[in-house]
Structures are given as C-alpha cells and as structure tokens.
Amino acid sequence: MNTNIIKEEVKEEVKEEANPIKKKQTNKSFLKSKKLLCDQVVTIIFVLLFYIYFLNNNVYDFVIYFCFGITISIMFNVSLVLVKKFNIIASKKFYDKYTPSIKKSIVKGFNNYLNEELMLLFGAVYSIIAHLIFSILAFIYVKKYIKNSVKTNITILISVILYVAYVYYIIYINDTFKIYNKSIELPKTEFNTLIISITLFYFGLLYYFETIKNERPI
C-alpha cells in the first residue's frame, strides 16, 4: 500500500517537473512565430480592428494606410514566395519544425482521409491560400475603414515614415532574414527582392488609398 502511494507521488512530481519544460517550449515557439512577417501583420491588423470596434472608431487615416498597407503587401508577396518554395514547405522536415500548432490541428483533421504525402501537400496549399485570402480580404475591406477614418493632410508622409521604421525593425532588429533563410532556404538576394517587392507594393497601395480618400460622395 505504501509502495503504491510512493509511486503515485513520484509520478506527480515527474508531471510537475515536465510541465514547466513544456511551457518554456511553448513560450519559445510562440515568441519565435511572432518574428515571422505574416504573424506580425496579422497581429497588427487584429489589434487595430479590436481597437476600432471595442475602444474607439476614430482612427487616423495614416494608421489605416500603414496597417492595411503592410498587411496586404506582405501577405500577398509572401504567398508568391511560398509558391516558389512549395517543395520545401510541403516537406515533412518543414512541417514538423516550422508549422504552427493551429495549422497542424487543421491539417491533422484530414488524417483519416489523406496519407502523409497528401497531408503535407494539403498543408502547403492551405498555407499559400490562407496568405492570399487574407491579403484579398484586407484589400476589399480597407475602403470602408479609410472612409470612416480621421482625415489628415500629411497621411502619405507619416505612412512612409512608419513603413521605413518597420522595415528597419524587421531587417536590423528582428533579423527576419535569418529566420526565412533557415526555414525556407531564402538566400539574401531573394530576401532583398522580397523587401523591394513589398516596398513597391506598399507605395502603390498608398496611392490607391489616397484615391479612395479623395473620392467624392455620390
């Protein structure tokens, strides 16, 4: 009887010791995911929408320009990179190491219908489509938020300053290149091309946003 009690106590101690390790791994994984461009912009856009709907809907236009501009630019351009790197993101090594737990849960739901190879392909296709859909939805709904924003006369200037600050952060502070170089084998030249493409896309969106803001009501 005493032996059984001791065994149970030992099991409980082992569980308690294991839990902090799992929590540390989970926290580390969470922090690492927040270094990804896509996770950053998705977080930014949801924080903005939360602020608009639950705290204050009087948001300055340059905030809308910046948040929606980087979200659309990054999500769309990254989706193109993922298409190019399809063989990598559809590999088991990438799936096991870099796929977020939420996406894994969705993909695992198809385990009974797909073999492992098809499951990995499904996961890669899902990732590309998710990026595209998010960028398209942001592009569709941004008009509404621009119309309801507080208008300023230096919108473009502030939007550009915010973008430059963000690019400086992801390149020199967040060190995003190392993350993508390691995960999807993105060389420096391709990473620079991605940043240039995102930048051109962002500036094009700023022009489009201005045309929306200056539209005369019918």
Q: Please give the model's pTM, rounded to 2 decimal places.
A: 0.79
pLDDT digits (tens, 9 = 90+) for 56-67: 888 999 999 999
Q: How many CA atoms lie within 13 A of 152 on its CB side?
A: 14
In whole angstroms, what is the distance from residue 113 CA to residue 106 CA?
Answer: 13
Q: What tokens were used for 106?
A: 């969705």
User: Are 88 and 80 contacting, i.e. CB atoms less than 8 angstroms apart?
Assistant: no
Share of the chain above pLDDT 70, in %: 74
**Residues 134, 93: Cα–Cα separation, whole Å:** 26
Q: Is 115 left (phi over 0), alpha (psi -120 to 50) or beta?
A: beta
Contact 60, 152 (CB under 8 A): yes
Q: What is the mean pLDDT of the chain?
A: 81
Residue pLDDT, tens place only, 153-196: 999 999 999 999 999 999 888 888 888 888 888 899 999 999 99
Tens-digit pLDDT profile for the chain (218 aa)? 444 544 444 444 444 344 444 344 433 443 444 567 888 999 999 999 999 999 988 899 999 999 999 999 999 999 999 999 999 888 888 877 776 555 556 556 555 566 777 878 888 898 899 999 999 999 999 999 999 999 999 999 999 999 999 999 998 888 888 888 888 888 999 999 999 999 999 999 999 999 998 876 65
